[in-house]
Amino acid sequence: MSPEQLFEYLLRLGDNTLVLGHRVSEWCGHAPVLEEDIALANTALDLIGQTQMWLGYAGEVEGQGRSADDLAFLRDVWDFRNVLLTEQPNGDFGQTMMRQMLFDLWHDLTLESLSESSDPRVAEIAVKAAKEVRYHLERSSDTVIGLGDGTAESHGRMQAALDLLWPYIGEMFTPDAVDDAALQAGIGPDMVQIETRYRARLAELLGAATLSAPDAPFSQKGGKSGMRHSEHLGHMLTQMQWLQRAYPGATW
């Protein structure tokens, strides 16, 4: 795997957690109850902490002196490599938790595989992150089940959230040249195997939540290659990066 491909691969891991972490942080002070406000804030902090590790390593691999902060705040939309699922708007609380669960399940399986990566640094980061993500998945799964198998109102909202977000799942498992290079180098997982395990666990979870998987084989894609992002990412970055845009080079 070339240094350029490893840099690209690390950007994907870091951008996923950065974008989703910012999305989740938008709930701070707005969650339905105090306990959820605190839990969502902690989840966001975990994801941003993981971002620091992934993008920090990416900057080292790139070798151009860019820090994790530089990569987070000084890139524009077309330079981001997160999957489209992570940049989708929060919507209501049910939509946020459905998005979280769909990502957490993929994240948990991916980190489990990355913890055995041939790259010691990747494995080290994955082991640390996996401890946090296991809790994220437990919490988001329990919430989706509770709301899906709850009242008629909560069930309807969760089914609507699943229908809305379903087309974004497939991108997480669609391999390209970077994924293939990571697999061949023993750095990254086999996405086909990850998808098989993901679909099986998701079916069990949706069954417990009394939710029905949509019959929609089409998948949106383009985020992790940077070829196409939704309009939502640009709006999000104007909020996330406004300080550096207004005061270039500002430091604490």
Domain coordinates in residue numbering, the chain: 3-246
Q: How many CA atoms are closer than 13 Å to the CA of 30, on its beta-carbon side?
A: 11
> Do 216 and 166 touch, CB atoms closer than 8 A?
yes
Cα–Cα distance, 219 to 68 (Å, whole number) = 30
Q: Which of 75, 98, 100, 104 is nearest to 11 (CA)?
A: 75
Domain made up of 3-246: CATH architecture = Up-down Bundle (1.20)
State residue 225's pLDDT score: 84
pLDDT at 218: 75
120, 56 Cβ separation under 8 angstroms: no
Please state the pTM of the whole predicted model: 0.94
pLDDT recorded at residue 248: 87
What is the widest separation between alpha-carbon atoms in the chain? Answer: 54
Going residue by residue through the chain, which has 252 residues, state the pLDDT in tens, using 9 for 90 and above.
Answer: 899 999 999 999 999 999 999 999 998 888 888 888 899 999 999 999 999 999 999 999 999 999 999 999 999 999 999 999 999 999 999 999 999 999 999 999 999 999 999 999 999 999 999 999 999 999 999 999 999 999 999 999 999 999 999 999 999 999 999 999 999 999 999 999 999 999 999 999 999 999 999 987 778 888 898 888 999 999 999 999 999 888 888 776
